[in-house]
């Protein structure tokens, strides 16, 4: 991730010399833009011997920079354009960079190049002893005109004199073998350039036979000790690639540059993808040779940004959470092949209808527990938890899969409900009522339902409830305490139906945890449940009541709907736009 690679320019400039001093030689890889820099920066392998191997720095190549911009390698791309590419690579990496400076221009231009590269944080510039405008060295039959050695030596001297950081290195690249002038010409030029102050020599060859390169290295080591003291020897084994970096280091090379491979690899991959898409007239086949988008997101730091956004948003979210267990499966969800929360009612998912109401009330801190069809949940800005045992456990166990999110106060709501905003707003008033730790939303209209036919309802009996006129219900909210709650209460003595919505204060949440942990430790079934894993939400509510917690009731008369079966779904489509 790009922000992980932070380093100041002064420290970066000295890294190259430091790495060479520590390791004896360094492996350098070509980069031509920021993403290639990131990949090169982070690439690492662990060998069978246990050795961890990585690249030590980057080669900002004139060839690959020009080609990536669609231009030939003839010093056509300006220094300012090159500097922009260099800046983009350095911005996202933390390893040293060597820049291919082409011929360096004339003496004055090279001085400005040195200052600009040094200021940019580059560790080394390498210029070649050709006449401007140069031609790329690797293409056979290309005219190669070398600069007079005395003229090029003066250019090196001017570059050395203008630099201000002793760790910034100016290196001479010798093209004698490329131009066909032979080994002796290369040796003579090397000696002259070293006397002019060059910090090192790059010897270049396009021959697949490395014998001349090896011979040059032997001759280099035979120079007077004072001439090659702390001087570097550099090679680019693009053509003589049968030799390993370790072997080349054994011949005395301090820097081994792999000069164009990332661009060549990218070119081939892009060409192959284009041909695949054209051949099959779709992208399915091409996907097999493409990097997943998520890998790119991870590399450039987007996933980190997303996580930071999530953390920042979490801090700004409503203090009151909404927790929705949506792990279960029933006949309707199996038939539809999706969780009830994702069932569509007139082209809008049930969960989207819930979220709309939550957001309208200022509730944006949403927790959802998935199980059946978990992979189908793709909505953003929801904190997800999973219950992989949804087939064997019931709602209470699902709820506590989100244990870490059950802090502070929260509203519990079943995933199969559509409720009016007014119910939510009445519950939210409890945030300012320290006397209420737990409250459940109940409805007096259950007497008109098909109790024990469609499903067994969760009924509630309170300490002073009565089947009164529904008009009075809103007037005395929270005046009653629930005494019994569950499916086995006789409807003749029940006062209300629990609709599947509840409120817990911070203290109420703590009590909820306490009761759950005690039951879990004892592996105890609560009340109407047959086992601990099958404990329902109403089971733990009854346990809270039995252990002394007052569970208040918020009374409503209709204003909500539960989607339990296909008939409910059809009715909902008629009611909700």
Provide φ and ψ at 317, rounded to 5°: -70, 165
Q: What token pair was written down for 23?
A: 């390791």
Tell me how far the alpha carbon of residue 189 is from its chain's centroid. Answer: 51
**Number of other residues whose CB lies within 10 A of the CB of residue 500:** 21
The helix, strand and coil proportions of the chain, stated in percent and rounded to the nearest 5, come to 45, 20, 35
CA-to-CA distance for 319 and 364, rounded, in angstroms? Answer: 9
Given the DSSP bridges, would you call strands 44-46 and 52-54 parallel, antiparallel or unpaired?
antiparallel
CA-to-CA distance for 445 and 561, rounded, in angstroms? Answer: 12
Q: How far is CA 460 from CA 446, 490, 516, in A?
A: 10, 10, 21
Which residue is it, tokens 């109403």?
538
User: Is 485 within 8 Å of 542 (Cβ atoms)?
Assistant: yes
User: Is 259 within 8 Å of 2 (Cβ atoms)?
Assistant: no
Tell me how far the alpha carbon of residue 152 is from its chain's centroid. Answer: 48
434: left (phi over 0), alpha (psi -120 to 50) or beta: alpha
DSSP string, 159-226: HHHH---TTSEEEEEE-HHHHT--HHHHHHHHHHHHHTT-SEEEE----S-THHHHHHHHHHHTS-HH
Alpha helices in 205-330 (DSSP H): 211-221, 225-228, 245-250, 261-280, 284-287, 293-300, 302-316
CA-to-CA distance for 3 and 241, rounded, in angstroms? Answer: 34
Q: What token pair was written down for 363?
A: 């509730």
User: Is 241 within 8 Å of 261 (Cβ atoms)?
Assistant: no
Of 466, 460, 464, give the one whose Cα is nearest residue 501. 460
CA-to-CA distance for 123 and 257, rounded, in angstroms? Answer: 14
**Number of other residues whose CB lies within 10 A of the CB of residue 409:** 18
Active site residues: 73
């Amino acid at each position: 991730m790009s922000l992980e690679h932070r380093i100041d320019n002064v420290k970066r400039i000295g890294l190259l010399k430091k790495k060479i001093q520590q390791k004896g030689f360094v492996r350098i890889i070509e980069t031509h833009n920021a993403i290639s820099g990131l990949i090169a920066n982070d690439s690492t392998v662990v060998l069978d011997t246990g050795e961890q191997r990585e690249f030590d720095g980057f080669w900002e190549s004139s060839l690959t920079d020009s080609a990536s911009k669609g231009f030939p390698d003839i010093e056509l791309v300006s220094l300012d354009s090159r500097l922009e590419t260099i800046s983009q690579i350095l911005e996202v990496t933390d390893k040293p960079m060597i820049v291919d400076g082409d011929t360096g221009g004339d003496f004055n231009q090279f001085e400005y190049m040195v200052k600009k590269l040094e200021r940019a944080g580059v560790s080394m510039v390498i210029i070649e002893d050709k006449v401007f405008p140069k031609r790329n060295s690797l293409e056979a039959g290309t005219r190669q005109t070398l600069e007079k050695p005395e003229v090029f030596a003066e250019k090196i001297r001017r570059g050395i004199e203008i630099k201000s950081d002793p760790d910034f290195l100016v290196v001479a690249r010798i093209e004698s073998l490329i131009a066909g002038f032979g080994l002796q010409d290369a040796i003579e030029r090397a000696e002259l350039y070293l006397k002019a102050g060059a910090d090192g020599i790059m010897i270049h060859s396009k021959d697949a036979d490395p014998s001349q390169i090896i011979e040059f290295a032997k001759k280099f080591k035979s120079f007077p000790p004072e001439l090659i003291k702390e001087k570097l020897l550099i090679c680019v084994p693009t053509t003589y690639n049968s030799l390993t970096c370790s072997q080349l280091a054994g011949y005395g090379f301090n820097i081994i540059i792999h000069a164009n491979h990332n661009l060549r690899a990218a070119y081939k991959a892009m060409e192959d993808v284009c041909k695949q898409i054209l051949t099959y007239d779709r992208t399915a086949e091409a996907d097999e040779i493409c990097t997943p988008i998520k890998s790119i997101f991870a590399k450039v730091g987007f996933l980190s940004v997303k996580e930071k956004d999530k953390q920042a948003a979490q801090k700004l979210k409503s203090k009151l959470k909404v927790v929705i267990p949506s792990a279960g499966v029933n006949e309707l969800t199996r038939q539809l092949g999706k969780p009830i929360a994702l069932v569509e009612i007139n082209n809008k998912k049930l969960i989207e209808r819930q979220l709309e109401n939550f957001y309208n009330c200022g509730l944006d801190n949403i927790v959802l527990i998935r199980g059946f069809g978990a992979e189908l949940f793709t909505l953003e800005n929801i904190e997800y938890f999973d219950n992989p045992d949804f087939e064997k456990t019931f709602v209470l166990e699902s709820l506590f899969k989100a244990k870490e999110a059950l802090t502070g106060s929260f509203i519990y709501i079943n995933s199969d409900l559509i409720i009016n905003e007014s119910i939510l707003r009445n519950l939210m008033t409890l945030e300012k009522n320290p006397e209420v730790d737990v409250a459940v939303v109940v409805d007096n209209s259950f007497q008109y339902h098909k109790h024990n036919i469609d499903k067994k309802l969760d009924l509630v009996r309170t300490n002073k409830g009565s089947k009164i006129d529904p008009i009075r219900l809103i007037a005395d909210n929270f005046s009653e305490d629930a005494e019994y709650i569950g499916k086995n209460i006789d409807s003749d003595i029940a006062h209300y139906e629990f609709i599947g919505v509840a409120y817990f204060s911070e203290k109420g949440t703590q009590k909820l945890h306490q009761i759950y942990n005690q039951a879990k430790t004892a592996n105890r079934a609560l009340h109407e449940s047959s086992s601990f894993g099958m404990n329902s939400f109403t089971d733990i509510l009854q346990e809270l009541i039995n252990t002394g917690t007052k569970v208040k009731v918020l009374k409503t008369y209709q204003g909500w709907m539960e989607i339990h079966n296909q008939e409910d779904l059809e009715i909902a489509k008629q009611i909700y736009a």
